[in-house]
Amino acid sequence: MSRQRIAILGLVAFVAIAVNACQVSSIDTQTEKETILAEKESEIRDLIDKVDEYAVIGGEFTEIKNPVTPCKVFIVQNNFTPGVAQTPDEGYKYSPIYFELPEELQAKSAAELNTLVQLNIYEAVTGKYTNGDNAYTLHTEMTVIDMTKNEVIYFADIVQKPFTNITDDSQLHRQIPEYEIIARIEDLAGYIRE
């Protein structure tokens, strides 16, 4: 066998080992994330078990009011998937945005919960791009309920307009505006980040 062929085989083996290591590393990272999420979910199991109950609480919004202090929040959202038509009976789930809230604002149990945030997320076709694809506007209806009074204290329709131009299908749908939802909850609660 020539030196050149041995060198190439050695390089191929090295690359194969490196790729395998990267795959194992990404699996480990994903497994770690799933383990951490499962641990967090187990800590708030009594809240998660009541999502269906929390989804139907509502009322008429009349004016913005301050939530109970200290504000202890839980967030539920409809089962939204970008680009997939929603039907009203798909139900709700707890929102992963909950874990992005500052620790001080997170309700840790159903007994502690005094401020419920409901997110109703949907896409509406608002036009067409020059390539013929539909242009979507993402709506996130945010309803905040004071659970101590069973009263709607805040409502907003956060609208993300379609992109002005489109280069590929992966950009057709916008993401849920987590940062804006968190900022609005913090503002309502009077929370100031340090």
- What are 78-99's pLDDT values in tens digits? 876 655 665 655 678 899 899 9
Tell me how many helices (H) and strands (E) the chain has. Answer: 4, 5
With beta carbons less than 8 A apart as the criterion, state whether 122 and 139 touch: yes
Task: Give me the residue spans of the domains in the chain.
Answer: 1-43, 46-189
| pLDDT tens digits along 141-175 | 999 999 998 899 999 999 886 655 545 444 444 56
CA 93, 99, 104, 110 torsion-angle sign = positive
The closest alpha carbon to 186, from 62, 70, 63, belongs to: 70
Residue 127: closest CA among 164, 168, 157? 164
Q: What is the pLDDT of residue 101?
A: 94
75 has which bridge partners?
A: 117
Residue with tokens 């590929």: 168
pLDDT tens, position by position, 103-152: 999 999 999 999 999 998 888 888 888 888 888 888 889 999 999 988 99
For residue 121, give the 3-state DSSP assignment. Answer: strand
| pTM of the entire predicted model | 0.73
Tell me the pairing of strands 115-128 and 92-94: unpaired
CATH class as words, domain 46-189: alpha beta
